[in-house]
Structure 1
Amino acid sequence: MTGRAAKRTWWSLAVAALMGALVLVPAQPAAAQTGAMIQPVDGVVTGVLSNRCGSTDSDHYGVDIAANSGKAIGAAYPGTVTFAGWTSGGGNTVTVSHAAGYVTRYLHMVQAPSVGAGQAVGQGQLLGYVGSTGNSTGPHLHFEIWRNNAVYGISPAYTCGGTVTKGAAINLPFADLPAAGAVAERFAFVNAAGVLHVKDGAYASWQAVNAGGATKAVLGGNWIGWIQGGSFYAKDGVYGGWLTMAGGGQVRDIAISGNRFAFVNTAGVAYVKDGPYAAWQAINAGGATRVELNGDWIGLIQGGDFLAKQGIFGGWLSMAGGGQVRDIAISGERFAFVNAAGILNAKDGAYASWRAVNAGGATRVVLAGNWIGWIQSGDFYAKAGLYADWLALATGGQVRDVAVNGQDWFAFIGSGNYYAKQGPYTSWLTMAGGGQVTDIALAG
């Protein structure tokens, strides 16, 4: 935070009233879980506690991470939002309370936070976007960690001029704070009657979440989404109540990633929002046929081209032009597309060079973890990274759709049945038979 903003906020006053004087928590407590919290944003460190990387400010209680305006900010650890709003010094600010007396704060967001007070958030869940509101001279995130009403000694994890990567573990010991739990392995399919079935765990029982009419299912975080009658519906978990995300019978494609939702309407206008109750933001003028979400990235097929942007307010990048793009996928910083000749191209990093991973004939691509999967001539192929050898996972020319998740689960529709397995060398499980499966999804 630039200047003495932390001192001028209500938070500083509250802390002063509670503790009387600043006490730094030692950076090496006993029985600590190292790396339990994760970095909230990508960027360059420009201030660490009182060291302003060129000057000293004893009232500076966190780390400054310079980043482009509009970059998404994720929660460092699961918790409950205790404040989301405006402070005079911090601008648009979020405070999250965590287990074991920890509190994190995120300042200077470009607009009102994407979460509200009292809301539970997961690790990495979107809180808002980098900005320069309040007492700030340029776009950056001011990030603070407190424990038991005292500033936590974060300096060992940050150095002036160093870079941090969003989602990477913060290399500090966090006493009594366990590593955040993994996402549940969730499976979903739509049958010929349009009934969407979902279950958590490969051997659990299927639960029907609608009465019929669904044509597509997507999974993201704890959210389940589907298209039904041209409308976009979603529910928070298998047993949550369903919400109408976008009605009117005009929805053509949908996507969910974490707490971000997107859809494309029949005019090809793509809409995105962060949080189920937020307002939709149109991100293009029309012509889109497909939308893809992963992490902070948003991808579109528009006019046969692959466009991508980082965050709702980021600028568009032309990933692949020429009007030849037929399918796209994004996972982390990996991007992939299939062109009209069926050549699958992939790259690691938005500005890296594309690498062809087959000779042609592909019709579909999926990405998850380090895996690249695709359908080619009705068979299911996969490879573990750009330079690995490819594996034939399911042959016979009957594969209609495929899915992969980050826990090495592979799935496909073959002859109307849903098959899945964990690991490329295990046997396939029949998840749903009867020849009635029309769409599948995996999460985890």
Structure 2
Amino acid sequence: MGPVTARPRPWVRRSVIAAVVGVCLVVAAAAYIVLRPPGPRPAFQLPVACGETWKLGTYPGHDDYDVDLFPEQGEAWGRPVLAAAAGTVTKAGINGTVGGRNPENPDGPRGKGGGYWVKIDHGGRWSTLYLHMLEPPLVREGQHVELGDQIGKVGSTGNSGAPHLHHEQLRGFEKVETSFGGVPSGITTDDREYSVSRKSGNCASGGQNDQRPG
């Protein structure tokens, strides 16, 4: 009589089947999240105080669609950084290293990456990034924010040469031209150094749209 081959017990087979089905469901859900088309662009506003005029610029090597914001009047250090639209904070902390640049030591050692930063998910696969902030963010991961809520302060942490706010808008995993109050920023390629001026409509009362200064 030959050797007897043990058959898997029924509960083992059921466990294996359940595990395979679970993995398939997770993969299918992840694929749906990645492949589903983005929703309409949220009504983003400039992420700075209502009524202020800021210069939006870029330079060679900055990367397409990346925007650096500098105030046209007054000191940049410590200016409020505001949520460009309502959403949920998905990142709040340090990107790279902070470095040693601050108002007391503006020429201190540079850090790496974005320094203190925040990323906000606005739904519909849209998100925004805010980099180089002065101090740890004023929000935490998982926190809901409304348009105009303060999330940090303008600084020069990370790989930054001067105090400013680096801002990006993403559709899915793709960076796109930033738009404020329904008006495209005009910052597209990084083939040369150039800038435009925009006035903020990021007002708590839901005021005017961001616009070109008159």
Q: Does 1:94 align with 2:121?
A: no
Give, in angstroms, the shift of residue 136 of structure 1.
0.4
* CA displacement, residues 74-102 of structure 1 (integer Å, 9 cap, x when unaligned): 10110000010011110000000011110
Q: Aligned partners of 1:147 and 1:121: how far apart in 2?
A: 19
Correspondent of 2:70 among 66, 69, 73: 66
- Number of the residue aligned with 1:116: 140
Q: Which residue of 1 aligns with 2:56?
A: 45
1:196-345 equivalence runs, <5 A = none
**Residue 21 of structure 2 aligns with which residue?**
none
- Pick from 149, 163, 172: which aligns with 2:197? 163
SS of match in other structure, 2:124: helix
Amino acid at match of 1:127: I
User: Normalising by the residue count of structure 1, what TM-score does the alignment of the two structures yield?
Assistant: 0.28
Instruction: Tell whether the 8 Å contact from 1:132 to 1:139 is kept in structure 2 after alignment.
Output: yes
Equivalent-residue separation in structure 1 for 2:165 and 2:56 (angstroms)? 10
Q: Please state whether the residue corresponding to 1:90 is helix, strand or coil.
A: strand
**Counterpart-to-counterpart distance in 2, 1:157 and 1:113:** 25
Shift of 1:182: 7.2
Counterpart position of 2:168: 144
Distance 2:125 2:40 in 1: 14
* CA contact 1:40–1:167 (8 Å) conserved in 2: no
For residue 73 of structure 1, report the CA deviation from its aligned partner: 0.8
User: Per residue, is there more helix in 1 or in 2?
Assistant: 2
Distance, in Å, in 2 between the alignment partners of 1:182 and 1:44 is 24
Write out per-residue CA displacement over residues 209-230 of structure 1, whole angstroms, 9 at most, x where no aligned residue.
Answer: xxxxxxxxxxxxxxxxxxxxxx
Give the whole-Å Cα distance in 2 for the aligned partners of 1:73 and 1:86: 16
Displacement of 1:115 after TM fit?
0.5
1:92–1:145 CA distance, 2 compared to 1 (3 A):
same
1:149 is displaced (CA, Å) by: 1.0
* Shift in Å, 1:36: 1.0
Aligned to 1:79: 87
Partner Cα distance (1:113, 1:71) in 2: 13
CA contact (8 A) 2:148 2:202 kept: no
Deviations 1:337-387 (A, max 9, x none): xxxxxxxxxxxxxxxxxxxxxxxxxxxxxxxxxxxxxxxxxxxxxxxxxxx
Identity %: 37
| Runs of 5+ consecutive residues of structure 2 not aligned to the other structure | 1-36, 97-112, 188-193, 207-214
**In the alignment, is the contact (CA less than 8 A) between 2:169 and 2:176 conserved in 1?**
yes
Q: CA deviation at 1:46?
A: 2.2
Given residue 115 of structure 1, which amino acid in structure 2 is its aligned partner?
A: V
Alignment check: 8 A CA contact 2:156 2:162 kept? yes
Deviation at 1:38, TM superposition (A): 0.5
Read off the aligned partner of 1:126 and give its amino acid letter.
Q
Aligned partners of 1:45 and 1:65 also within 8 Å: yes
SS of equivalent residue, structure 1 residue 94: strand
Deviations 1:37-89 (A, max 9, x none): 11002521221xxxx1xxx2264552111231111011011000001001111
Which protein has greater RCO, CA pairs closer than 8 Å, 6+ apart? 2
Question: CA contact under 8 A between 1:90 and 1:107: conserved in structure 2?
Answer: yes
Aligned partner letter, 2:199 = T
Q: Distance in 1 between matches of 2:81 and 2:155?
A: 10
Quick check: 1:124–1:167 contact (8 Å CA) kept in 2? no
CA RMSD of aligned residues (A): 3.0
Query: Residues 32 and 130 from structure 1, CA distance in 2 versus in 1: closer, same or farther, beyond 3 angstroms?
Result: same
What are the superposed Cα offsets for residues 265-313 of structure 1, whole Å, 9 maximum, x if unpaired?
xxxxxxxxxxxxxxxxxxxxxxxxxxxxxxxxxxxxxxxxxxxxxxxxx
Specify the code of the residue in structure 2 equivalent to 1:102. W
Q: Matched residue pairs, number? A: 137
What's the TM-score once normalised by structure 2's chain length? 0.56
Deviation at 1:167, TM superposition (A): 2.9
Counterpart Cα distance in 2 of 1:154 and 1:115: 23
Instruction: Please state how far the C-alpha of 1:113 moved relative to its aligned partner.
Output: 0.6
Counterpart CA distance in 2 for 1:118 and 1:32 is 23
Name the amino acid aligned to 2:185: A
